[in-house]
Structures are given as structure tokens and as C-alpha cells.
Amino acid sequence: MESGPCKEVIIGEKDLDLLSFPIPIWTPEKDAGPYLTPLWVTKDPETGARDIGIRRCQVKGRNKTGILFGAPDRYGAVHHARWKELGKPMPAAIFMGVDPVIYLTGPSRFGIDELAVAGGIREKPVELVRCETCDLEVPANAEIVVEGEVSTDYVEPEGPFGEFTGFMAGGRECPVFTAKCITHRKDPILLGLISQFPPSESSMIKRNLLEAALFKHLTADLHIPGITDIHALEAGGCTAILWMSIKKMHAGHVDQLVFGVMGYFGMSYYKWIVVTDEDVDIRDPFMRDWVLSWLVRPEKDMRIIPNTAAIELDPSAMPPTEIFREPMGAKVIIDATKKWEYPAISLPPRESLEQVIKNWNRYELPPLRDVRIPKGA
């Protein structure tokens, strides 16, 4: 499209003022200042491949913000490194107030254009318009768009900010985004995402499409058989703890699955990866605890990969008083599958349990709550 609702008002570099918008302080008395939580768009300078990501955006002045890319293997950070190699600032744009589907696809890792994925989910393409000052495209129906460039030769302190880990994160030395143009709808709505202590929007927004994309990668791309479910836990921001269930078919099957995960996301995802049997409901917290209690021998079934990338913003990676460097951590792989034929589940047959549930109202007992019948009963 040549134009769209996001260009109803166009403000040039000399007149723009980010502070004219009602930008919130999300964690009062703790955040470094007001923050936008927008979608960012950047491009690889060589291939032109686009990346959409949700990244925190500390507003530092009328035309200046910080940007925290996350781990260096994220696409936005990779783009920034390539622009730095060219000795040029990186063109970038942020946008807010778009179709919620785009907020779901933005933080997910697909290896393809997130806007194309959003269009597929919507069953209708996302209409785009070209930015006024750089060769980037943004959704035409966005409420607010800020165009500019990210420094590649200059950093300054950014943060702290209340993060999805449940802790304050930052500050550290980060690049600076300089705004060159603002376009927006008339009477725009400034939309933000709640981060801070989980559960929150930022701790769960990536889960569904992350799980689906990983399932597709493992089954359709890597052709790993037997996978029945994948579940990323919100307490870990959907990036710290991953559970998977499989029908184990051969020696090394668990390893094949785990290393497929790490190859897809990079080493900065998932501190804990647990694989269990196909008859376990890994979305049930009680069953996860039960599995760890009785299907795992720690000295045999747990392995640690030491001295590798930590999850970005993991406060256990280094003390907050240390000068920031790339954080190091470890991965714990837990094989929680049965290694031999276990005894029968200590419950009556499933048919008997289901009959009791069906007739419960006849017994004049308190209502049943949180009923779970293990698959193996």
C-alpha cells in the first residue's frame, strides 16, 4: 500500500517528541524511566530478510530511546552485528497498536517472516506501508510508528526494567535508537505489553506459537518420530523450562529430540529440558512433579552441559553488581522416560474411576474438583 491509517499524521525529525505520548512507568520506583514495549522491525543488510521482535524501549528524550536486543543469537541482534560490520547505523522502526496476531508472532522464532506467519493465521495478508525515512515496511493499520536508526558505534546505560523473569533486569550498556520520524493515526492509542512478575503478557505471549513452531521443526523438518506434546512453562517465561513427551523408540531418541531443540533456538534458550513418556500429561503440574519424583534417577538420568550461553536476563547467571558481559550458564537435560517396565499404576481400572465420577452426584458428597486420571490407569 502507498499509505494507510498509520500515516494520518506525519511528524518530521525537528518537530517530533516521544515524550508527548503517555508512556507508562511499568514498575514504579524501580524502572529507570518510562518504557515502550513495541514491536521492532529490522532487516539484514545483505539478504534483506526482515525480523519482527518485541523489545523493551527505554525512552530517554524527545528523540532517543534505548534498545535491549536480548541474546546475541536473536535475529535483531544478528542484524545489528552485520550493520556494525559495514560501519553504518542500522535502520529500524517500532510500531504499536496492531492486530493481536502480530504480537503473538513477533517474539516467536520461525526462521521465516513473522508478518507472513501472521497473515497465514489471519487468512488474510498483513497490509504494509513503506516508512517515510528508511527502507522498511510496517503494518498500515498500526496506531503509532516511530522510524529511525540504531547506533552501531555508541552505547550507553539502559535499564533497569521489571522483566518477565520476575526480577528487575539491567542496567547495561546498550545501543541507542534515534527517532527520525513519527507517523500515527489521529487520536492514536498507545498500546503496551505488561512484563514484570509472571504470569504476565510478556511471560506467556510467545507460548502457543513457540510450541507449534518447535513441534513443526522437530517433526516435519528433522523427521524425529514419536513426539506427542511440547510444553513451555510460563513461570520460566516460556524460555527457561521445556517439557516434552515422546513414545521412545530407540537408543538416543531423547538426545536426538533435545539437541534438535537446542539447534532450533540456540543455546540461549532453556535451562531445563525434560523428556518423559507419551502417557504423561506434561501440562498438568501435579503430573510433572510425580514424574520427577518417581521416574528419574538423578545420578543417571540428569546431564549438565556447562559453560554455555545463559538465558538472556537470567539473574542467576551473574551477580547484578558485576560489569555486564555475555552471561554464561548451563543446560540440564533430564531423561524422565521409563527405562524398563514399571509396576502397574496403583489405581482401579480407568472404567471404574470414570463410573465413580459419572455417579458422583448420587453419593451426597462435596463436589469433585481437579479430577485427574493418569493415562496409564
Secondary structure (DSSP) of 285-331:
HHHHHHHHHHS--HHHHEEEEEEEEPPTT-TTSS-TTSPP---EEEE
Nearest to 23 by CA among 180, 230, 176, 192: 192
Q: Where in the chain is the domain with CATH 2.30.110.10?
A: 5-197
Cell (9 digits) for 109: 522464532
**Beta carbons within 8 Å of 303's beta carbon, 6+ residues apart:** 332, 333
Distance from C-alpha of 101 to C-alpha of 250, rounded to nearest angstrom: 39
Residue type present at position 355:
Q
Output the CATH code of domain 5-197. Answer: 2.30.110.10
Nearest to 216 by CA among 260, 252, 254: 260
Q: Is the pTM of this model over 0.75?
A: yes
For residues 184 and 22, the answer to whether their CB atoms sit within 8 Å is: no
CATH architecture of 207-336: 3-Layer(aba) Sandwich (3.40)
**Which stretch, 71-80, 173-182, 208-217, has highest mean pLDDT?**
173-182
Nearest to 162 by CA among 205, 200, 108: 200
Q: Could you tell me the pLDDT band of residue 323, with boundaries at 50, 70 and 90?
A: low
Q: Where in the chain is the domain with CATH 3.40.1670.10?
A: 207-336
Q: Could you tell me the pLDDT band of residue 282, with boundaries at 50, 70 and 90?
A: very high
For residues 273 and 334, the answer to whether their CB atoms sit within 8 Å is: yes
How confident is the model over 213-250, as pLDDT tens digits? 999 999 999 999 999 999 999 999 999 999 999 999 99
Distance from C-alpha of 290 to C-alpha of 377, rounded to nearest angstrom: 14
pLDDT at 193 over 80: yes
Distance from C-alpha of 324 to C-alpha of 305, rounded to nearest angstrom: 22
Nearest to 151 by CA among 83, 95, 94, 205: 83
Q: What average pLDDT score do residues 200-220 get?
A: 91
**Beta carbons within 8 Å of 159's beta carbon, 6+ residues apart:** 32, 56, 58, 66, 68, 168, 169, 170, 171, 172, 174
Q: What average pLDDT score do residues 38-42 get?
A: 96
Cell (9 digits) for 190: 498507545
pLDDT at 47 over 80: yes
First-to-final CA distance of the chain:
58
For residues 38 and 96, the answer to whether their CB atoms sit within 8 Å is: yes
How confident is the model over 9-28, as pLDDT tens digits? 999 999 999 999 999 999 99
